[in-house]
Structure formats: structure tokens, C-alpha cells
Amino acid sequence: MDITLITEGTYPHNMGGVSVWCDQLLREMSEHTFELLSISATGTENSTWELPSNVARVGTIPLWGPTSRRRAGPELRKRFAPVLELFLSSLAIDNHGRGFAHSLRQLTEFARAGELGAALSSKDAVELLVGMSPACNERADGEGVRQLSVGDAVEVLVQLEHFLRPLASPPPRTELCHTTANGLGTLPALSAKWELGTPFLMTEHGVYLRERYLSYLPGTLSQAARTMVLRFFKLLVETAYENADIVAPVCRYNRLWEMANGTSPEKIRPVHNGIYLNSFPAAVTDPAVPTLVFVGRIDPLKDIETLLRAFAEVRLKVPECRLRIFGPTPEGGEDYYKKCRELATELGLDDGSATFEGPIRPTVKAYHAGHVLVLTSISEGLPYVVLEAMASGRPIVATDVGGVAEGVGSAGLLTPPRDPSAFAAACARLLTDEKLRKSLARKARDRAVQLFSAERCFALYRGLYDELGPRQGEVISLPEEQEVFRLRSSVPVREGGTEQVLAEEPEVLA
């Protein structure tokens, strides 16, 4: 098959778990030919990956490149008025998104003609958005609602113009579109589905909509502007879920969000991430001093600040312990890295007890350098670092977010996110209880071997490709595990048409 793999902000321009998954997929599916279509920031990013030979083409759609200086004349403004009204009215709270998908198709015509930027920056567009803002920002209590100012409206329209830039590209001419996430990367897949009937497979690592909510925290925009931008993302996510032929989340937790946003349960096929076990042999020795290891990018979603505050508390119980932080600072994350370093100094951790050591290759060296892998994320899918550390024979202390519980199972301790004291208590417990730590380490290795091999993961994807492709092969879905786990929130999860609550062994929880 000829397959278009569509990424957003990841492969082949950045490192990280999603990029690791992409590279694995391409190499495992060597019988297929791929086009990479990357939604990137500026289009000037260099590739950080050596691409396999079955990648025939690489295309880039920059979201934040130069903006056209074209101005909308009377004729364009007249043609665009009904399309813009349909698009903006679909954002109204009481409209329930009616007309949103249809308006995207109409906006595509303007985008491909190079007219969308000018149309969205016109005076007519600003005035219409200001006039419609009350309907788009209505709250249940009726209080605290502010109409968009002209400045707010301009900011919203500027952001929407950038978000809609993928519409300007012609639809991929391919046998299958496979996206690595929901969101902006689904726009080319939607175009191909609507115009050419191309099948659409969506893999979902993190929960895209939740991460947009986290990135647009109060204060990033005015309340009215923030509500409208997030409304756009919600409707786009719902449209993509509705139009995807198969949604393949990397963990069962993601199904809660997918079903809540309109995905039919029968099209959701969870496929857990997998790792090459031979690359992560179990550690045979321990560090000389008690050591916690973090592996991942320096990013607000990883919540390094909570990790540092927790470590400062751990030192009160285990004074000789160390924290080693391995991972890159992504482009644009320099301010957050500086903030974390300043916090480390403020907490008295600049004495060499907590170190930022940058990327490490191979990563198994990082896992062997510590007694415990720590992860304080506020949002995750099914993190590779958890699976890799488990295969390396290291127990986990992590926040109970996303699919982390599905990965860790009974091989570690889970705590609520953004709770430094609870996280510190779990870390201190494992560092001071050798018997428990070694017991969890054995469970971790066994669990990784049994459930999370790359071969198993991509055998399932091969089945999904066959199902959607011309061969129309047998449907393959992830086998049910005998062991299930409780989400700390006790959110009901629908399994086989019945309501269950995922449960795990309570004695290993912090």
C-alpha cells in the first residue's frame, strides 16, 4: 500500500515518544511505501531522524511561517461572508457544532486559492466575530461573560488562520491516511476522506483535546478569546473522531475522552505501545548511592517543577540521594528550562544532588543509572520511558495520568499529579525498602516482556492496515488482559457493553 503518515510537531523533526513510535512503525511496515506529511512550526526544521528506505516522500506544512500580506477586496469579502458566518455560528454554544464540518470544506476552497488569510484578517471578519462572541461564550450561570474586544477578535482570527493552514494543501493521493494524533494533523486526512474517499486511521498517543485545555490555561488569552479557540479545537476533534474509520488509542484510558467526544465504541481499537526488549536488558547492579532518574523532555507537561519540589522533600528522609534528569529541551522551551534551574537553586538542589544532564544514548544507560524511574507528568498516553524502564528492571514512581496505570500495573507506585508530598513519600518508600523495590523490579521486567513487545504492537497495526486496505484482511484487536487496573479517579470504563471500574493491587500504591 501507499500510506500517508501525518504527524504534528513530532517525527521527523523532533525526538520523543511519538517519534520513536513513528520510526518503529515505518521500519516494521517495510512492505508498505510511506509519504510523511509533517505539520511543523516554521517549515525550516531539520530532520533529526535517519529515515528508512520505504519513505518515498517528505512533505511539510508550516503553521507559523510568513503570513500573506494580501488584503481582501470587496469581491472576496462578499464571497467569503456566508462561509465565515457558517463557520463562526458553528462555534456558538447552543448550535452544538452544526455546520462546522461543512464550513471546513468551504474554507478549504479559499485556503487553496490563497485567499483565506486575507479573508480572515478583513474588517468584516473582525466585526462579525465581535458580534457573535456572546453566543460563543455563554456560561451556564450567565456570569463573568465578556464580549470579545476588537483586539481579542483579531487575536482569535490570527490563531484560526494559522490553525487552518493545512487546508491549503491538496489532499494526499494515497491508499490510507494514518495520523499520529487528533487535531490539526487530521485536516489533510479529512480532506482526503471527503474528496477522495481515502480510509482514515487515527492513532492517539496523548489526549489531544485535554492537552489543548492544559496549554490554554487562564491568563493565556482573555476568557472570551480562550473559550472560542478551545471551542474550535473541540469541534475539530469531534469531527475527526466521527470521520476516522478506526481510532487506535495507545491505552484504554484514552477511550474515555474519545467516547465522551462522540466516537463510536465499535471503531475504537486500543493498541499498546511496544518496545524492542533486547535493547533494554535488566540491570544487574545498582548505583552506589540512592538515585532517582527522570527521562524525558524538559516540558511543562512533564511538570519538572513538581519533581524538583518532591525531590527536595525526599532528601529530608534520604539525605544522600540524587536526582538525575536526562532529556532535551525542545526548541521554544528554553524559558521553562531556565525556570526549572532557578527553582532547583531556590530549593537548595544546586549542590550536585539534582543534575540536568541532557539527552543520553542509548537510553538504557539512564535507567541503569538509577534505582527508580520517576515521572511527574500532568498528561500522558502510554509513555515509552515507563515501558523501557520496566524492561530494564527498574520500578516506577509516576503520576496517575493517562495510560500510565495500564503500563505500570503492579510494578510501581502511582500518586496524584501535582502533589509533591505524595510523590516524595512514594520515592522515599522505594529508596528505603530494598525488598519492595526488588520485588517491583522483577514484576516490571516480567510485565514488559509479557505485554509490551514491539512485535506484538505492530502485528496488530498490520492487521488494521489489512482491514482498511485493498486486501480487506481479518479484523485484529488487542486481546483482553487478565490483569486490569483501577484508574484513581474511579471513572467507569465500558468493557464489552458493561460498566467496570479498573482495579489494581492496593498494597503497592502510595
Tens digit of each residue's pLDDT (9 = 90 or more) over 449-483: 999 999 999 999 999 999 998 744 344 344 443 33
User: In the structure, what pLDDT confidence band is assigned to residue 332 with cuts at 50, 70 and 90?
Assistant: confident
Find where cell 515501558 sits.
387
Query: Taking Cα atoms as reference points, which of 87, 226, 215 lies closest to residue 148?
Result: 226
CA distance 315 to 249: 38
Q: Residue 347: its pLDDT value, please?
A: 97
Query: Taking Cα atoms as reference points, which of 324, 272, 329, 267 lies closest to residue 297?
Result: 329
Mean pLDDT of the 373-377 span? 98
Question: Has residue 179 been placed in a domain?
Answer: yes
Q: What's the number of CA atoms in the CB half-sphere (13 Å) around residue 375?
A: 36
Q: Residue 219: its pLDDT value, please?
A: 82
**What number of residues does the chain have?**
510
CA distance 270 to 255: 8
Question: Has residue 56 been placed in a domain?
Answer: yes
Residue 278, number of CB atoms within 10 A of its CB: 8
> 319 with 232, same domain?
no
Question: Has residue 16 been placed in a domain?
Answer: yes
* Cell (9 digits) for 317: 528522609
Residue 412 phi/psi, 5° resolution?
A: -175, -175
Specify the number of domains making up the chain.
3
Question: Has residue 261 been placed in a domain?
Answer: yes
Query: Taking Cα atoms as reference points, which of 274, 304, 464 lies closest to residue 378?
Result: 304
Q: Are strands 291-295 and 246-249 parallel, antiparallel or unpaired?
A: unpaired
Find where cell 474588517 sits.
123
* Cell (9 digits) for 350: 544546586
User: How far, CA to CA in Å, does 463 sit from each of 198, 293, 445, 468?
Assistant: 18, 37, 27, 9
> 418 with 353, same domain?
yes
Please report how the helices 384-391 and 17-28 are oriented relative to each other, as an axis angle in degrees rounded to 10.
70
> 147 with 250, same domain?
no
Q: Residue 220: its pLDDT value, please?
A: 84
Q: Residue 307: its pLDDT value, please?
A: 98
CA distance 399 to 292: 15
Question: Has residue 473 been placed in a domain?
Answer: no
Q: Give the residue numbers spanning the domain of 102.
A: 74-161
Question: Has residue 476 been placed in a domain?
Answer: no
Q: Residue 72: its pLDDT value, please?
A: 84
> 61 with 82, same domain?
no
Q: Are 360 and 293 in contact (CB under 8 A)?
A: no
- The helix (H) or strand (E) run that includes residue 196 is helix 186-196
Considering 161, 177, 212, which residue would you say is the last residue of a domain? Answer: 161
Where is pLDDT greater, at 139 or 82? 82
Mean pLDDT of the 19-25 span? 96
User: In the structure, what pLDDT confidence band is assigned to residue 138 with cuts at 50, 70 and 90?
Assistant: low
Considering 429, 451, 473, which residue would you say is the last residue of a domain? Answer: 451
User: How far, CA to CA in Å, does 264 sit from each of 8, 192, 301, 480, 493?
Assistant: 24, 21, 29, 19, 14
CA distance 39 to 45: 11
User: In the structure, what pLDDT confidence band is assigned to residue 146 with cuts at 50, 70 and 90?
Assistant: low
Q: Are strands 176-179 and 200-204 parallel, antiparallel or unpaired?
A: parallel
Query: Taking Cα atoms as reference points, which of 430, 441, 439 lies closest to residue 395?
Result: 441
Q: Residue 486: its pLDDT value, please?
A: 30
CA distance 458 to 456: 6
Q: Residue 491: its pLDDT value, please?
A: 32
Find where cell 525550516 sits.
44
> 290 with 254, same domain?
no
> 302 with 401, same domain?
yes
Check whether 509 has a pLDDT greater than 50. no
What pTM was computed for the model?
Answer: 0.85
- 439, burial (CB in 10 Å: exposed 0-12, middle 13-18, buried 19+): middle
Where is pLDDT greater, at 221 or 497? 221
Question: Has residue 465 been placed in a domain?
Answer: no
Q: Are 163 and 120 in contact (CB under 8 A)?
A: no
Contacts of 9 (CB under 8 A, 6+ apart): 39, 40, 41
> 249 with 316, same domain?
no
Q: Supply the CATH number for residue 243's domain.
A: 3.40.50.2000
CA distance 172 to 401: 35
How many helices (H) and strands (E) the chain has is answered by 18, 14
Q: Residue 145: its pLDDT value, please?
A: 58
Q: Residue 144: its pLDDT value, please?
A: 58
Considering 221, 249, 267, which residue would you say is the last residue of a domain? Answer: 267
Q: Are 333 and 447 in contact (CB under 8 A)?
A: no
Contacts of 123 (CB under 8 A, 6+ apart): none
Mean pLDDT of the 43-62 span? 94
> 437 with 416, same domain?
yes
> 86 with 61, same domain?
no
* Cell (9 digits) for 229: 479557540
> 254 with 295, same domain?
no
Residue type, 197: G
> 225 with 79, same domain?
no
Question: Has residue 469 been placed in a domain?
Answer: no
Q: Are 402 and 207 in contact (CB under 8 A)?
A: yes
CA distance 19 to 23: 6
Provide the 8-state DSSP code for 175: S
Q: Are 177 and 202 in contact (CB under 8 A)?
A: no
> 79 with 11, same domain?
no
Residue 506, number of CB atoms within 10 A of its CB: 8
